[in-house]
Amino acid sequence: MLKSLKTIYHPEVYHGENKDQQDFFEGWYFKVADKNAENIFAFIPGIFKSKSKRKDHSFIQILDGTKNQSYFIKYDVNRFQATKDIFYVKIDKNIFSKEEISLNIKDKKINIEGKLKFDDLKPWPVKIFSPGAMGWYGFIPFMECNHGVLSFNHNITGFLTINNKKIDFNNGKGYIEKDWGSRFPSAWLWLQTNHFNEKSSSLMVSIATIPWLSREFRGFIIGFHHKDKLYKFTTYNNAKIIKFKKINENVEIEVENNKYILSIKANYKKGALLKGPFKTDMVKNVEESLNANISVKLIDKSNNNIITNDKGIKAGFELNGNLEEIIDNF
C-alpha cells in the first residue's frame, strides 16, 4: 500500500497515526546554539510503539553538548499529542513545532523552562517527484527508517532556564530534522553543523545500511546548504562516494555527483549515550557528540573551481553499529 500523500509531501508531520499494532518510532531533533556557540543542546521529542503494548511510551531526550551529558525523560504514551495536518507535537507540558519549542520539564536530574522561537527556516525542498531528503525513496512503503531535514539553518530568539541557569539564545542558530520507521539501521554515520566561517553554510551527512528486499546496501543522503543553494549528493540522484575512511577519531569522505565534488573531513570526540529504537524497545546505545570539527571543500567539476573551502565547529556526530558495513577501510 502506498503511503499517505499527506505524510509523503509533509515529512515534518506525525506519521504514526495508524501504527498502533506494530513496532514504530518517530522522533524530531532540534539542535539549538546560543550566539557564541557556548551553549549547545539537542532536544529530541518522540514516541515509541511496540507490538507489546506495555512498552509504548513517549519521551524527550536532551543532549547537553557543553557538558557532554544526556537525559531521557519518559512519559506515558497518552501524554503524546500530534495534529494531523501541521507539525505540532505536545508531550505533557512541552510543545514542539517548526515555529517554536516551549519547554516545561521537571525531572530529578534536569529542570528546563522557557520558549525559543524560530524564523527564516531552510528546509530540504519538497518536490512532486522528490518529496524532501528521502527523494523518490519517500514513496516506498517498506523503508525501515525514514529521514527528513526540516531546517538546515534558522534564527533563534528566546531564553531557556536550565537547572536555574538562564541562557540567552537570541541571535542563536538552530537545526531541525527527524526520523521515523520501525528501527534504526544496523550501522550508520551522521554528522551535522551550521557553524561555519560562512554563516549561511550548513552540512548534513547520513550514511547507513539500507535493507532492500532480501539484501542491504549502503545508502546516503548528503546536503550542503551554501549561500541559499542546496548541493545534493544522494543515492537516488546517482552520486557516488569515492572515499570513506576512518583513522582513529578522524573520518574522511569524498562524494561526487555529475557537477560537483564534496570533500569532508571530521575529527570527533567521545559523546554521550542516547536511546535509539532497536527491535522491540528503546536501547541506550547511540553515542552522539556535539563537539566535532569539520572541514569541507566544494569543487565545480566543469572548471575545477573551488566554490568554498571552509571549517565548521560544534558538529553533531554519530558513528554507530558494524562499521565494516559502511566504511571502506579503517
Res 216: pLDDT:
87
CA distance 123 to 148: 9
Q: Is residue 330 part of a domain?
A: no
pTM: predicted TM-score of the whole model, two decimal places: 0.96
Q: Is residue 257 part of a domain?
A: yes
Read off the pLDDT of residues 229-266 as tens digits, 9 standing for 90 and up.
999 999 999 999 999 999 999 999 999 999 999 999 99
Res 329: pLDDT:
62
CB-based burial of residue 102 (10 Å sphere; 0-12 exposed, 13-18 middle, 19+ buried)? middle
Tell me the average pLDDT across 197-219: 92
Q: Is residue 273 part of a domain?
A: yes
Res 3: pLDDT:
61
User: How many domains does the chain fold into?
Assistant: 1
Q: Is residue 140 part of a domain?
A: yes
Q: Is residue 309 part of a domain?
A: yes
Q: Is residue 97 part of a domain?
A: yes
Res 277: pLDDT:
93
Res 162: pLDDT:
98
Res 131: pLDDT:
95
Q: Which domain holds residue 248?
A: 5-325
Grid cell 556557540 — which residue? Answer: 37
Q: Is residue 252 part of a domain?
A: yes
Read off the pLDDT of residues 11-31 as tens digits, 9 standing for 90 and up.
999 999 888 778 899 999 999
SS (H, E, C) 128-163: CCEECCCHHHHHCCCCCEEEEEEEEEEEEEEEEEEC
